[in-house]
Structure 1
Amino acid sequence: MDKARYLVEAHLEEGRSVSELSAMHGVHRSWIYKLLARYRAGGEEALAARSRRPRSCPHKASKEIEQVVVELRHELSRNGHDAGAHTIAYHLAKRFDHVPSVATIWRILKRNGLVEAQPQKRPKSSLIRFCAELPNQMWQADFTHWRLADGSEVEILNFEDDHSRLFLASDVYLTVTAQDVVSTFQKACDYHGYPASLLTDNGAVFTGHYRGGKVLLESELERLGVVFKNSRPYHPQTCGKVERLHQTLKKYLAKQRPAKTLDELQHQLDTFRDYYNNIRPHRALDGCTPLQAFEARVKAKPSKPIENPHFRVRKDKVDKTGRVTLRHDSRLHHIALGRAHKGRRVTILVADLDIRVVDEEGEVIRQLTLDPSRNYQPLGST
């Protein structure tokens, strides 16, 4: 027996007063009088608990809005884009003057069975977020694997700005080499300026310090005055932003027709990068696009001014005496590398008088400043 029926029967059957029942059971007298009126009008069935839901809700989202929310959810998911409530609200604002709150959109999605519970996720309060203060203060770089339509594996090299999440560059290669890293890095710098620092993991194409050497990227960053940072081994969370970018990119690619060639995959990467930077609102940026966040503040710069020397790249083979040749101002110079390298294929990178000789694995064999007055550059010279 519920409380309402008990109070009614206590008054009608036992003759106990409304005041007595109110004081004894901690309820207001007016509620008991309402129960009695309902009982006399409809019997015991009228005493059942009634819904407190209002008969009308003037600010409730219209059927049209609800339908568009569901359609946007399916469209964004089908194209491999983020389809959360924040993103849907961003797209709704382009169609309607009055847009429901993010919470309302989430409830619409849940009501239509489009939200799956994810109890395995860590609560947001447990996360510590690190972010550069300015655009170009720090970039993150890493490469990830993908497969073409025929099953052959390729590698995608990505660069991202830590502050604004701007997708700086995305290039596909059969296998990423040290030279590819510098090439993509330089291309990103041509569009967005040079960063003050660069963060990568300890991949062989990024660093050679654990092998006691130096790869092309390290040498290039040193020349430019860009601070080079490496993540802790086996700790991908340090490069978490670019790792998360890999996940978002692969979600998009999985919804596209499998690319048959590198050029076709590169076109897909370029299309996604344009959408990511210019159209997709980013939750970590309070709904701004990465490009808006990148352009909103002054840009950080390397610690020393960037010069623009004359660049040249030359392929060569180390001769039997352990030397390679290079012409400067119409004069031929011989650069000593050591007999241990004879017969090796090398790449000579020239920036005016700054010379670097790199092997096929990207290891810097020798770095020197050319002395134009000497035909022979011995090993002891720097």
Structure 2
Amino acid sequence: MSHRNARLTVHGRRILIERVLSGRPVAHVAAEMGISRATGHKWVRRWRAEGDAGLADRSSRPRATPHRTPATVEARVCELRQARKLGPARIGPILGLPASTVHRILTRHHLNRLAWLDRPTGQPIRRYERDRPGELVHVDIKKLGNIPDGGGWRTVGRPVGNQNRQATTDLRKSSKPVIGYSYIHSAVDDHSRLAYSEVLPDERQHTAIAFWQRAHAFFATHGITVEQVLTDNGSCYKSKLFTQTLTAAGITHKKIRPYRPQTNGKVERFNRTLLDEWAYQRPYTSNEQRTAALADFLHTYNHHRSHTAIGGQPPITRVNNAAGQYT
């Protein structure tokens, strides 16, 4: 690869060939261009053998590396990395290798960053993205504890939070000292990351079905035709009625492998964003106040928040770009 101060680029090599073909000696042309006679002859020889293709840059990788670490040792390095999540400084002494050599091996096999591995299995994470909006929509539910009136312990500390919790329980005339949970149902388009969420009181099949029907209408208003829906193996999604509802609308229902939430990773990552930028983003004094703030978060997420996985643009921009591409 030519650097910015190289004597010869591909364009310069063509000039060299043109001057030599005009009848001038290679040594004279090489001196004019600030290169050695041997280098000039090398490019002339390559051009005569391969034509213009011979003037392109070639890889500097050697044809053979006799001192490269044996494949069996490299396999052992990868095995220790994936099975025990060890770094170069710990793998090196086990196999009698310098840490720098271990690091090069891990880099060669794309194992040098633990973030690139699935932590339970140690297998490299395979990223994927559907080609168009609506081709696949991820659906999931996030369970979130309700906030007692006056604020929970995350906001006011545990002593006051416990008092608010008890006061809210007494006000609601419950015999149990609990105030329950909210269930955030979410649907995220795989291609554009356009998201729709609602805070609902449970995760039963009829609730999940009603949510999907509203989410389906939301995507339709943005010109997205949903083809497939991907869910986990929650009881509401395993029900025949949920699948029949999707099938009646011409949508294929897909479920992830058990205990493999990475497959549903788009909506799992959205759940984490929900917690960081909505649920725990600021203190709330009641559950109703937190619920009311969800609409503002969704508008910001879909229309204004830059998304690093789609080139720093908000989801709605990608939806509009795709609409222009497929119309």
TM-score (ref. length: structure 2):
0.50
Higher-Rg structure is 1
Structure number with higher helix proportion: 2
Structure number with higher strand proportion: 1
TM-score (ref. length: structure 1):
0.43
